[in-house]
Chains A and B, each alone.
Chain A
Amino acid sequence: MSHPGLPARQGLYDPRHEHDACGVGFVAHIRGQKSHAIVEQGLQILRNLSHRGATGADPLAGDGAGILIQLPDAFLRREFLRNGVSLPVAGSYGIGMLFLPRQSEQRRTCEEVIAQTAAAEGMAVLGWRDVPTNNLRLGRGVRDVEPAIRQVAIACGEIPAGESLERKLFVLRKRIEHAIRSCAALGGAEGFYIPSLSSRTLVYKGMLLADQVAEYYPDLADPALVTALALVHQRFSTNTFPTWDLAHPFRMIAHNGEINTLRGNVNWMAARRATMSSRFLGDDLDKLWPLIVEGQSDSACFDNALELLVAGGYSLAHAMMLLIPEAWAGNPLMDEKRRAFYEYHAALMEPWDGPAAVAFTDGRQIGATLDRNGLRPARYLITDEDIVVMASETGVLDIPESRITKKWRLQPGKMLLIDLEAGRIIDDTELKDRLAALRPYRTWLDKTQLVLEKLASVPVAEHEAGALLDRQQAFGYTQEDIKFILAPMAIGGQEPVGSMGNDTPLAVLSNRPKLLYCYFKQLFAQVTNPPIDPIREELVMSLVSFIGPRPNLLGLDQAEPHRRLEVTQPVLTGEDMAKIRRIRECTDGCFDAITLSMCYAADQGAAGMEAALDALCAGAEEAVRNGHNVLILSDRDVGALLLPIPALLATSAVHHHLIREGLRTKVGLVIETGSAREVHHFALLAGYGAEAVHPYLAFETIAGMAEVLPADLKPAEACKRYVKAVDKGLLKVMSKMGISTYQSYCGAQIFEAVGLNTTFVNRYFTGTASKVEGVGLGEVAQEAVRWHQLAYGDAPIYRSALDTGGEYAYRIRGEAHMWTPQSISQLQHATRTNSYATYKEYAKLINDQSQRLMTLRGLFEIKKSARPVPLEEVEPAREIVKRFATGAMSLGSISTEAHTTLAIAMNRIGAKSNTGEGGEDARRYPEAREGESLRSRIPSVVRDIGLQPGDSLRSRIKQVAAGRFGVTTEYLVSADQIQIKMAQGAKPGEGGQLPGHKVSEYIAQLRFSVPGVGLISPPPHHDIYSIEDLAQLIHDLKNVNPRASISVKLVSEVGVGTVAAGVSKAHADHVTISGHDGGTGASPLSSVMFAGSPWELGLAETQQTLVLNQLRGRIAVQVDGQMKTGRDVVIGALLGADEFGFATAPLVVEGCIMMRKCHLNTCPVGVATQDPVLRKRFTGQPEHVINYFFFVAEEVREYMAQMGFRTFDEMIGRNDMLDVRAGITHWKAKGLDFSRILHQPATAAGAAIHHRESQNHGLDRALDHELIRQAMPALESRKPVTIDLPVRNINRTIGAMLSGEVARRFGHAGLPDDTIVIRAHGTAGQSFGAWLTHGVTLELRGDANDYVGKGLSGGRIVISPPADSRIVAEDNIIAGNTVLYGAIDGECYIRGVAGERFAVRNSGAIAVVEGAGDHGCEYMTGGTVLVLGVAGRNFAAGMSGGIAFVLDEAGDFTKRCNLSMVELAPVPEEDRTIGENEAQGGELETHGVVNINHLEHSDATILRRLIQNHLRYTGSTRARMILDNFDVYLPKFVKVMPVEYRRALAEMAAAQARAQQPESLVKHG
């Protein structure tokens, strides 16, 4: 409950943003046989999961590890007896494991509190025992905060053993915790923590490395310490602070993952207090509050919730299903009863949403479950000795293959439960069927569930309303709202798209009144959890919302269940709203709605808003107490005399007021507002508690937009499309945080405030982060007043027209922009004429924000030193420019000419350019020779650029994005830096789509795809769902190219600092912090404007957190986002950046004039287009770009001279040289407070504050060194070699470093097939065969973990069970999740079943597998996949190319396939003669890669060949059987063919035919 190791909140660092992730595992004896061996095995699992944890600055300081076992009665009895305490009968006493303050006085106080509290609960402390510890090998920081560890034995008096005792011990523990926390003598609970207090379980944990647990707790080595189960956990946290209590396991769980909706879950839990009662807990229930204490980790909160449910009478499994439900809404395969179960429970509690593998136990049962999307790995096996081993990886225990009877994995949403008392495994189906049948959920639902849309319609009352224009103005509508927001939504049913970032001021800096919505920025997932793809993985998403009172969470056997009102999505139409208004009549009085006005008398002005809010909250409370259970907050009565409170403010104020009163779950909150129009508005209303929203004015506006809408689009249809667009947008906003249900999103407050003061936020938006203060209620009210005056005043330009807006396109009367006609033309003129004087004029326009505030940094003053240095003594510009890089702009987003110009320029000055995502033309790699030009290298360029000898066209930074397009081994080895793009400033948490018409032949070639076929980039990296996954990818990339530094690109948001610390611990060499305002080729406007925060915040937080963690020295920090001048660079450096990224400015130098039409491919200056006609207009020159960077560096030097810095390094992190500009009088900005940005954490002397060390990547332990040594003959003289070796799960990324060597020497073409053959046996660690190149074959006898064949670039991977295996290969799992992610070329044969997301984003590899999990072939663009068994759900989602064949014996594949982009067809019988001829033909003999050409070969032929190969490589009995009965099996195969791919192939065939025709004419003619 307290974290003595965590620093206090300071500066921008806030401990509540800490994240963790981990390795989790358990071992159990099914029949409950206790032994010490189980403890040993548990500890062994921990040791073998070491690589999933991390160490901080101190290699001896781990992030925490621990083990939970059954209470070892005999051991404890003996030990306590030594202290003179004799324990009562087993099961009738409780043992508490305690972390106590080391100071004896405080410790004694704690112990007294425990004794007193136990007595108060009718129990007694029997005695104490010091737990022996050995801290010799602990790191110093860890030892400093090491607690005194003691065990207490509690006698239980009259309380019967079993459930009742456990419940009582839980109550006791909560009471002790509360008592200690409020104990004045202790001054808080520093150093006190109860790892466990139970009659069944005992937890040993601490701030330990995995291999320190056993050593630290000698108890664990005692043979008398026996258990039948051991639950272990190894933590990877984003900090290096020693926090003993944050280690897992908790009392009931060990968790790998992250709860994204935590804020909402915790709030809702608190909100339930008044409606909760329990037959089991009775009056004890009240003693539990606060149930969830602020400031805990997500896992700890979850553990609290689970404990409550179990104490409240739920079975362990039932409670888990309530907390982490499967995706039930859109699942056609789910059993009806089970769906009813979930649907019923949905109203009880919102899901605790996020990626999760949770292992749980109460000491009698042990189990594990996975989140609905299967985003964490969990593998298990069963032996013939009744041992079950479950862990994040396979291979964690050395169990002879011959003993294993089953190998499987946890599937998305599924549960595994071992009942040690019953002595058996209960599988998911049995378990859930039983629970679903326990009560008549369907009948209850039918009786109680009301779906609003299905209620009989009621007449819509006509509203007296003033002129539309006035009301639009009162809510701040602009012309742009109509043109850029509403029109595209109403016409296309899509969120509007824009480009080129955001260069307008923050709301708090703007001179114009801004909607309150604009002060909030959306948070998003990066690194510590993945965003979701709401389109391709729609099946996990749900917009269902419940309006109205929530049932008693603990009333699990209430005879008369509550009525529930459901809406299928939260945007209500006028008709829906009418029903809500008259819900009493519609539902026979079950529901009773009341409308409260959000307006107040306009003559009260801004000053009247506070009282109006108070009155509204009081009115709401009164209404609830009077029995109204639906509250409608409405601003419909807005008019000349009535002024609306911003709907968001009213909503959140009422929501929080009701939470505080414990009344919130008694009522539903519906918002009827004229202000909501764009997605961000709805997201905010939802995030702060609205269960549904009726945007009446948006509907009226659309209805009045006839002139803008197509003639055939009726207003009703337009409104329908608008709702659809909002829905889609909401799904996107939710999914960028990894949240899949509206219900969990509702109230989850996934936002940070930028520019609102703490008083205001704490009062009305409780729990929201706000780091730089800003305006309060007064200013917010003033803005509302301004809008109101505009509406009902008499300004001529507003008499007949809306305000121009000017946010999305520059308008002189509109919002201010940084890029103006003046700044653009001056920058262009300066760089084209090499005029530093003109550059300075440009820089003045950008830097001088004395009149017009634009950015936070604009408000800073750079101090002058009393001892300036002469300019000529300052580090020269040619050195400074080396710190510069251009942004990640892909060749798809900008033209070849623009892209290469940047590369040439950056290489000439020793700086770096970035490929962006989408690969790079290998012809750009060699250096230029005399006489070469761009066109001589790449003939397709339309605007030639002269080259100088030694010029390089290569981008030194190679980006690896979620799409993995063109990420070949050769691409990676050609990098100086490899950048993992976790997020992009303009659209963090989102994927992208390159529509087919933009995929030119050249782009297709670079991306290894087919011209004309669209390419989808998934929102998450499918190999990074957590921080330890990122560490793995860094490790993979470092293996492929040990010479490159690895960079991770993050986007600024609150908490990015802790993520960056995690990234540093994951061994990244470099981290980029991008501002929210960065450019983009195409991105939803709401993301451009409202996601992420300014880099000043993110960078400062990053610097402070890294320094605080002593992690700063080993990582380079780059900052980017609207970098324009030397002053920007200087401020970046002072806030802690080593390096700087520029994107828009160099594009402007190349000719970009901020057309903001990149997404339309009509760039009139040839920069952001692929159209050759437009590219001809490109005028950029490398010299211009070079001029620009030298100007910037010159400007930097001038500042350095003033500050007295001779070297750039001296300047980094010196935020003491920054001051806030004096005399800021701006009515909004004057409330800003930058003290947190300018905070400097206290550090040990000599602690690094800039980059000066390097990471230890641990590459020396790589198996590949041995492989390379043995493969030397092949590498040096192409001589075939064969290598045999054993492998273990800790051998990760096998083959990657070797492949890097091959690619470095032989390029993408690599070596002839089978030149290097590696025969491995055992369990391979993650990323087996990553980026395996042409010529390398990896054969594995055993099994493999996640990410097999990641980025496969031509090599061959074969995995089959060892000879002594007893399992049936095709019924067991042999490879983990995400096999062949981003594979480019090569083959993979897997004898057995693979996990989820098989062949995700495959571009060209061929794969055969005997069964695959959910989301198989997702986003695939090429290649061939054959599944000789069951394929999971959502197969082929987003698959635009390649072909898959699935053996569908059960005939239900259609239900599991996502048919939005593909067609299914039977495989036609092959032409026998061809088939057989080819079958016997060359390829089998030559052992070559199967040459598949989707144009030339018949499907049956391809199929037969693949199966033949599979048989030959793996010896598959299944392959043998199918081949033997090919005619019988052939009709059971389904061919999965992407529609677009079919069309493109047909076009290619036609083109080929056309190309051949003239020839044949000649021949015959």
Chain B
Amino acid sequence: MGKPTGFLEFGRQDPAELPVTERIRFYKEFALPLEEREMARQGARCMDCGIPFCQSGCPVNNIIPDWNDLVYRGRWKEALAVLHSTNNFPEFTGRVCPAPCEEACTLNINSDPVTIKNIEHAIIDKGWEEGWVQPQPAARGTGRRVAIVGSGPAGLACAQQLARAGHAVTVFEKSDRPGGLLRYGIPDFKLEKLHVERRIEQMAAEGVDFRLNQHVGVNVPAKTLLVEYDAVVLAGGSEHPRDLLVPGRQLKGVHFAMEFLPQQNRRIAGDRIPEDVAITATGKHVVVIGGGDTGSDCVGTSIRQGARSVTQIELLPRPPERPDRLVTWPDWPLKLRTSTSQQEGMTRDWGVATKEFAGRDGCVRSLRAVRVEWRKDGRGAPTMHEVPGSEFEMKAELVLLALGYLHPVHEGMLSELAVGLDGRGNIAATDSEGGYRTSVAKVFAAGDTRRGQSLVVWAIREGRQAARAVDEFLMGSSDLPR
């Protein structure tokens, strides 16, 4: 039961990181793992709550108290088994998850939460290191074939679950490498691609057939999937970005984040990006618009590329540093968060609305903006008001739009299949038991493409849940855990 008094005896210890000056010189991960003994102490801080709020805070419902305790007792291999029982890819979430579990941790009410994410990270790293992570091919096949479109975290989780249940799974990926956002969205300094690769390898060994450069709806007719497979899972993500249609948008140097970030990942992977399409921050004044995780990734990448300056602006007001945890816990609170990239030398500004981009020679040079205030309207909804006379201009030689994604790309596959959409333009399907079914027979949907843009951990959850739904659909019942 952990150590009942651990939380009183030991303080929270986060892993150290390489100093900024060092880490920005390369694109590698920079967290310095804690010693095993310290890890055990951190595990001992877990109180093994009668109600583990962390488990509910976690989208994949990781059984956190159990593996915290096992780590405390040095039973790492069992900890890994428990961890894997709810999460196919803890090495991804252990690195990039914003850890809503820690917000929900009971210690977070009046103290520092358990370093849940870091413990997860340590368990899975040790698992790989010790060779505990091995392919688990199904004992016998079912003879059913399932096509999964998209190899992001949702598609991968779904594929792995279904393959282990004995189905023949084929994953269609439009890109040249599998992994989706894990591969081309998240920078290497947050998630080195080795982790993605060895999972893919494991899954291939479990019988998952990865078909690359197969863009369903573009170079593969979507209908053929319906013919050739017993079930189809759409897990193509939510790739239609939100644009900022202000004057100057067409200028060169104003790009979506997802035009910029994948290039760097490709470079690191050894690809060459032709000069004419390359987007780099080197030597430039960079402005990142949008305060979310993608924005931060743009910041970190720009700094590593040697930007002259990096500024990140956000439309919403600056959130409080310390929310009133008595009325926010255990929910995800609105609070000022600073990413590691944001610690690497940049400027942040809030309540800024971009009015236009100005340029020379067709290239962006500066950005004009105005300060805004948010006030509640008559019905209590916050509304934006420009502050008169607060217009200002800033240098901007590269502008990266990280404003989120609206919905999946509708053209191509979705329109070909005529899948029903919800009010937000996502594929319509419920997430309840027996859900994840689209309006088209035997077609399922999982991940951002269904629920809208979200976290990796949500994508994994969706993939797992959809897998169970598919298995039930194919077999009548399912032993796969929800």
Residue count of chain B within 8 Å CB distance of chain A: 42
CB distance from A394 to the nearest CB of B (A): 53
Query: With A794-B139, A797-B85, A804-B63 in contact, do A809 and B110 touch (Cβ < 8 Å)?
Result: no
Contacts of B75 in A (CB 8 A): 707
Check: B29 CB closer than 8 A to any chain A CB. no
Check: A109 CB closer than 8 A to any chain B CB. no
Check: B81 CB closer than 8 A to any chain A CB. yes
Q: Which of A820, A1153, A1162 has a CB less than 8 Å from the CB of B56?
A: A820
Contact B51 A819 (CB under 8 A): yes
CB distance from A153 to the nearest CB of B (A): 73
Contact A794 B479 (CB under 8 A): yes
Q: Which of A707, A795, A813, A1162 has a CB less than 8 Å from the CB of B47?
A: A1162
CB distance from A880 to the nearest CB of B (A): 27
Check: A833 CB closer than 8 A to any chain B CB. yes
Q: How far is it, in angstroms, between the C-alpha of A820 and the C-alpha of B57 when the chains are bound?
A: 12
Complex: chain B residue closest to A500, CB-CB = B50
Q: How far is it, in angstroms, between the C-alpha of A1157 and the C-alpha of B7 when the chains are bound?
A: 13
Complex: chain A residue closest to B7, CB-CB = A1164
Complex: chain A residue closest to B165, CB-CB = A796
Q: Which of A852-883 contact B (CB under 8 A)?
A: none
Contacts of A813 in B (CB 8 A): 61, 63, 481
Check: A1155 CB closer than 8 A to any chain B CB. yes
CB distance from B100 to the nearest CB of A (A): 12
Check: A107 CB closer than 8 A to any chain B CB. no
Contact A809 B4 (CB under 8 A): no
* Stretch touching chain A among B101-109, B124-132, B233-241, B369-377: B101-109
Contacts of A804 in B (CB 8 A): 63
Q: How far is it, in angstroms, between the C-alpha of A821 and the C-alpha of B8 when the chains are bound?
A: 23
Complex: chain A residue closest to B73, CB-CB = A707
* Stretch touching chain B among A265-273, A823-831, A1525-1533: A823-831
CB distance from A1177 to the nearest CB of B (A): 5
Complex: chain B residue closest to A804, CB-CB = B63
Contact B329 A810 (CB under 8 A): no
Q: How far is it, in angstroms, between the C-alpha of A1002 and the C-alpha of B50 when the chains are bound?
A: 29
Contact A812 B55 (CB under 8 A): yes
Q: Which of A812, A817, A1162 has a CB less than 8 Å from the CB of B4?
A: A1162
Contact A800 B52 (CB under 8 A): no
Contact A809 B52 (CB under 8 A): yes
Contact A821 B63 (CB under 8 A): no
Check: A129 CB closer than 8 A to any chain B CB. no
Q: How far is it, in angstroms, between the C-alpha of A804 and the C-alpha of B139 when the chains are bound?
A: 24
Query: With A1164-B109, A1165-B110 in contact, do A832 and B327 touch (Cβ < 8 Å)?
Result: yes
Contact A1153 B106 (CB under 8 A): yes
Q: How far is it, in angstroms, between the C-alpha of A812 and the C-alpha of B59 when the chains are bound?
A: 11
Contact B85 A817 (CB under 8 A): no
Check: A801 CB closer than 8 A to any chain B CB. yes
Contact A795 B4 (CB under 8 A): no
CB distance from B20 to the nearest CB of A (A): 35
Q: Which of B53, B65, B331, B479 has a CB less than 8 Å from the CB of A1153?
A: B53
Contact A1153 B49 (CB under 8 A): yes
Contact A821 B56 (CB under 8 A): yes
* Chain B 77-96 per-residue mask, 1 if CB under 8 angstroms from chain A, else 0: 01001100100000000000
Check: B5 CB closer than 8 A to any chain A CB. yes
Contact B164 A796 (CB under 8 A): yes
Contact A821 B104 (CB under 8 A): yes
Contact B106 A1164 (CB under 8 A): yes
Q: How far is it, in angstroms, between the C-alpha of A871 and the C-alpha of B345 when the chains are bound?
A: 61
Q: Which of A1309-1346 contact B (CB under 8 A)?
A: none
Check: A1154 CB closer than 8 A to any chain B CB. yes
Q: How far is it, in angstroms, between the C-alpha of A1132 and the C-alpha of B284 when the chains are bound?
A: 72
Check: A483 CB closer than 8 A to any chain B CB. yes
Q: Which of A479, A500, A793, A1164 has a CB less than 8 Å from the CB of B479?
A: A793
Contacts of B327 in A (CB 8 A): 829, 832-833
Contact B63 A811 (CB under 8 A): yes
Contact A809 B50 (CB under 8 A): yes
Contacts of B5 in A (CB 8 A): 1162
Q: How far is it, in angstroms, between the C-alpha of A794 and the C-alpha of B104 when the chains are bound?
A: 34
CB distance from A462 to the nearest CB of B (A): 29
Q: How far is it, in angstroms, between the C-alpha of A821 and the C-alpha of B61 when the chains are bound?
A: 12
Check: B330 CB closer than 8 A to any chain A CB. yes
Check: A822 CB closer than 8 A to any chain B CB. yes
Contact B479 A796 (CB under 8 A): yes
Complex: chain B residue closest to A810, CB-CB = B51
Contact A825 B329 (CB under 8 A): yes
Complex: chain B residue closest to A1176, CB-CB = B110
Complex: chain B residue closest to A1163, CB-CB = B47
* Chain A 498-524 per-residue mask, 1 if CB under 8 angstroms from chain B, else 0: 001000000000000000000000000
Contact A801 B81 (CB under 8 A): yes
Which applies to chain A's interface (DSSP): helix, strand, loop or mixed? loop
Check: A1156 CB closer than 8 A to any chain B CB. yes
Check: A1160 CB closer than 8 A to any chain B CB. yes
Contacts of B479 in A (CB 8 A): 793-797
Check: B258 CB closer than 8 A to any chain A CB. no
Q: Which of A1168-1198 contact B (CB under 8 A)?
A: 1173-1174, 1177, 1179
Contacts of A1164 in B (CB 8 A): 7, 47, 106-107, 109-111
Contact A1157 B330 (CB under 8 A): no
CB distance from B222 to the nearest CB of A (A): 31
Contacts of B104 in A (CB 8 A): 821
CB distance from B109 to the nearest CB of A (A): 6
Contacts of B164 in A (CB 8 A): 796
Contacts of A1160 in B (CB 8 A): 4
Complex: chain B residue closest to A1174, CB-CB = B8
Check: B431 CB closer than 8 A to any chain A CB. no
Q: How far is it, in angstroms, between the C-alpha of A808 and the C-alpha of B49 when the chains are bound?
A: 10
Contact B85 A801 (CB under 8 A): yes
Contacts of B81 in A (CB 8 A): 800-801
Contact A812 B61 (CB under 8 A): yes
Contacts of B165 in A (CB 8 A): 796
Complex: chain B residue closest to A798, CB-CB = B479
CB distance from A992 to the nearest CB of B (A): 20
Q: Which of B47, B78, B330 has a CB less than 8 Å from the CB of A1155?
A: B47
Complex: chain A residue closest to B54, CB-CB = A821
Q: Which of A795, A822, A833, A1177 has a CB less than 8 Å from the CB of B110?
A: A1177
Q: How far is it, in angstroms, between the C-alpha of A795 and the C-alpha of B78 when the chains are bound?
A: 18
CB distance from A827 to the nearest CB of B (A): 12
Q: Which of B48, B51, B110 has a CB less than 8 Å from the CB of A820?
A: B51
Q: Which of B35-74 contact A (CB under 8 A)?
A: 47-53, 55-57, 61, 63, 65-66, 73
Contacts of B65 in A (CB 8 A): 809
Query: With A800-B81, A821-B104, A825-B331 in contact, do A1153 and B51 touch (Cβ < 8 Å)?
Result: yes
Complex: chain A residue closest to B3, CB-CB = A1162
Check: B1 CB closer than 8 A to any chain A CB. yes
CB distance from A802 to the nearest CB of B (A): 11
Check: B32 CB closer than 8 A to any chain A CB. no
Complex: chain B residue closest to A790, CB-CB = B479
Q: How far is it, in angstroms, between the C-alpha of A1155 and the C-alpha of B75 when the chains are bound?
A: 24
Contacts of B16 in A (CB 8 A): none
- From B47, B81, B104, name the one whose CB has the most chain A CB atoms within 10 angstroms: B47
Complex: chain B residue closest to A795, CB-CB = B479
CB distance from A798 to the nearest CB of B (A): 8
Contact A1155 B56 (CB under 8 A): no
Question: Nearest 4 pairs between A and B by C-beta?
Answer: A1156-B50, A795-B479, A821-B56, A810-B51
23 A-B pairs within 8 Å (CB atoms) are namely A483-B1, A795-B481, A796-B481, A801-B82, A809-B48, A809-B51, A810-B50, A810-B52, A811-B63, A812-B56, A813-B63, A819-B51, A820-B51, A821-B57, A821-B104, A825-B53, A829-B327, A1153-B53, A1153-B106, A1156-B51, A1157-B48, A1162-B47, A1164-B7
A contact set with B: CB distance below 8 Å: 479, 483, 500, 707, 793-797, 800-801, 804, 808-813, 817, 819-822, 824-825, 828-829, 832-833, 1151, 1153-1157, 1160, 1162, 1164-1165, 1173-1174, 1177, 1179
Q: Knowing that A796-B481, A819-B51, A1156-B51 touch, tell me 5 more A-B residue pairs with CB under 8 angstroms.
A: A804-B63, A809-B51, A1153-B109, A1157-B50, A1177-B110
